[in-house]
Structures are given as structure tokens and as C-alpha cells.
Amino acid sequence: MFLLYSLIWLTATEMNTMNPLTAEEEYVIVHKGTERPFSGKYNNHKEKGSYHCRRCDAPLYHSSAKFDGGCGWPSFDDEISGAVSRLPDADGHRTEILCARCGGHLGHVFLGEGFTDKNTRHCVNSLSLQFHAEKEKAAYERAVFAGGCFWGVEYYFQKAKGVVSTKVGYTGGHSVNPNYEAVCSGQTGHAEALEVIFDPDQTDYESLAKLFFETHDPTQYNRQGPDVGSQYRSAVFYLNEEQKKTAEKLMGTLKKKGFNVFTELTPATEFWPAEEFHQRYYERRKGMPYCHVYTPRF
């Protein structure tokens, strides 16, 4: 079911912007083929970084989860949370693994072999993967958005291309270290917000800001769907003048298109992470937002 949700998340435009595949890659990723053992470029690969889907570039595995399974294909004992879907294989015996974002075939998963403490082996085709070397954290950039319930905002951003990590929290208020109950009271002035860490070599702030404006309704004032209150306001918390100008440009474009935009544009202040219960809420519960829907506007 989670795979179904993931495929619904991809729009027709996004499917058309998937990375082009060679004939060999298409054989494996689309037609569920298997590359020859010991032939893949990542079989003995040991560099630090992350392995992404070759077709849609969604992050799938950290290098820390890679081990030598001696099988001739890259082996991992754990996936990035929510990144890999499992389905019964057509052969009736094995379990197929697929990219949860685009449904591309990765390989198979095996349990109980005892190679590592996690007792799991993701046997993955190198042709299904694209490696991204580990970077210094300073190379990443940050963005902060608020658009209603932060569960729904995070749902769309956590799988967006170039996003390294997401964290829901509270910002734009006047009290120190607020909690969920205090923010919901409307007395702290905070908005439910999302902090996005992204790789500027993979995406840019404008692309993320467009996603923000297309995954919530910026014409609603102090609410988003059934959620009402100033904590659910639409806001862009910019970290520099470049982000401010980008947001102003996009808001201007929306207004020219006839949208009565209520999105606040304000300098970023202290971001207070929310309780663990709220982090990656829909990913952990295999659900979908009830008040956030992807709607193309640009």
C-alpha cells in the first residue's frame, strides 16, 4: 500500500523528468531484470556517501549500511527510513524491493542469513543505483517553511530531490523552547514549521519554494483546511536576501495569476524542533496528509 501512495505522489510532470536510462538500466529498473554477478560498479565500492535511485534520484541507502555479502551484488543491511518498498516477487518465493518514490526495481531482500546484527540483506543491482559522495555539512543549505499542519508539509518535502533531511518544529513566536500544547494554545505566536536541509548541487531554493506553494493553499489566512489558528499560517522564513527575493518573485507570480496570497514573508528566527512523536509522522504511519494536496501553480 505504501508503494501505491508513493506512486500517487508523483505527478505526470515529475514522471516525465525522471533521469534518462540506458538500455541496460531500463532492463533492470523497468523490466525487473538482473545484472550479472560481480559486474556492477558498486559491488566492491567503499566510499562514504549515499546510494540513490538511478531513475528518480531518491536517497535509498547510506554507505554505513553497506557490507560485503559475497554474492556479487551490492549488499545493505538497512534502508533509509521509508525509501524502499517490498512486494512478493513474481516467482512466489522471494521478496522484491523497489524505490518507494518511483517504483523502480532494485533487487531482492533476504532475512535470517546472519551476515550482520540486523540479519537483513538487501541485494541490489548496481544499475539501479547512483552514488553521491559524502559532503561537508557546510556545503548544504537550509530553508524554513510553514504551511499548516507540519506533518503534511514534511510529507512532500522529505522525498523531494536534493533534500538531505527534514525536521518539523516551531518558529516565529516569542517564547523559549515551546511545546506542542503551548503552540496549539495560540499564545506563543509560533507557527508549525518545517526545516529543510538541501544539497544545492541537486536542487535550489526556488524549486523548494515552488513545492511549498504547490503543496498547501497560500490563499487561506491562519488556517489550512480544517486546521484553524495562527499556528497553521502560511509563512516563508527567509535566511538571507536571496531567499527573500526568490519568495517575493514567486508570490508576485501567484498574485498575477489571480491568487489572493496570504503567505507571510519574515526573517527566520530560532527554530525549535518538535517532539519526536511529530517527526516524519506520515512516513512512520504509512499514511497521507488530509489537508495537503499537490496542486501545480507555476
Same domain, 141 and 129: no
Residue 135 has pLDDT above 90, yes or no: no
Residue 294 lies in a domain: no
The catalytic residue among 53, 99, 123, 291 is 123
Same domain, 180 and 110: no
pLDDT of residue 237: 98
Residue 297 lies in a domain: no
**Is 149 tagged catalytic?**
yes
Higher local confidence (pLDDT), 288 or 86: 86
Residue 190 lies in a domain: yes
Q: DSSP E strands: which ranges in the chain?
A: 49-53, 59-62, 66-67, 75-76, 84-88, 95-99, 105-111, 120-124, 129-133, 141-147, 163-171, 191-198, 223-224, 227-228, 234-238, 264-267, 272-273
Of 69, 100, 133, the last residue of a domain is 133
DSSP 186: T
Q: What separation in angstroms does the CA of 73 have from each of 39, 54, 55, 66, 199? A: 8, 16, 19, 11, 28
CATH number at residue 65: 2.170.150.20
pLDDT of residue 10: 52
Dist CA 104 CA 134 (whole Å):
24
The pTM score is: 0.63
Of 115, 133, 151, the last residue of a domain is 133
pLDDT of residue 15: 60
The catalytic residue among 56, 102, 149, 291 is 149
pLDDT of residue 16: 60
CATH number at residue 262: 3.30.1060.10
Residue 6 has pLDDT above 90, yes or no: no
Q: How many domains does the chain have?
A: 2
Same domain, 81 and 159: no
3-class SS string, 20-77: CCCHHHHHHHCCCCCCCCCCCCCCCCCCCEEEEECCCCCEEEEHHHEECCCCCCCEEC
Same domain, 129 and 154: no
Same domain, 110 and 16: yes
Residues 6+ positions from 100 with CB-CB distance below 8 Å: 2, 3, 6, 58, 82, 83, 84, 85, 159
Residue 295 lies in a domain: no
Same domain, 121 and 48: yes
Residue 298 lies in a domain: no
Of 81, 108, 133, the last residue of a domain is 133
User: Average of pLDDT values for 102-118?
Assistant: 95
The fraction of the chain above a pLDDT of 70, given in percent, is 93
**Is 291 tagged catalytic?**
no
What confidence category does residue 14 fall into, taking pLDDT thresholds of 50, 70 and 90?
low
Same domain, 151 and 180: yes
Residue 234 lies in a domain: yes
Residue 238 lies in a domain: yes
- The string of DSSP codes covering 211-225 is HHHHSS-TTSSSEET
Same domain, 187 and 122: no
Same domain, 95 and 170: no
- Structure confidence by residue, pLDDT tens digits, 218-246: 999 999 989 999 999 999 999 999 999 99
Residue 8 has pLDDT above 60, yes or no: no
- What proportions of the chain, in percent to the nearest 5, are helix, strand and coil? 25, 25, 45
Same domain, 86 and 214: no
Same domain, 53 and 89: yes
Same domain, 201 and 113: no
- Please give the grid coordinates belonging to residue 29: 529498473
DSSP 297: -
What confidence category does residue 136 fall into, taking pLDDT thresholds of 50, 70 and 90?
low
Exposed, middle or buried by CB within 10 Å (0-12, 13-18, 19+), for 9? Answer: middle
Residue 296 lies in a domain: no
Higher local confidence (pLDDT), 13 or 249: 249
Task: For the chain, give the mean pLDDT.
Answer: 91
Residue 124 has pLDDT above 90, yes or no: yes
pLDDT of residue 9: 45
Domain housing 265: 137-285
Residue 285 has pLDDT above 60, yes or no: yes
- Structure confidence by residue, pLDDT tens digits, 28-57: 999 999 999 999 999 999 999 999 999 999
Dist CA 123 CA 182 (whole Å):
47
User: Average of pLDDT values for 151-175?
Assistant: 93
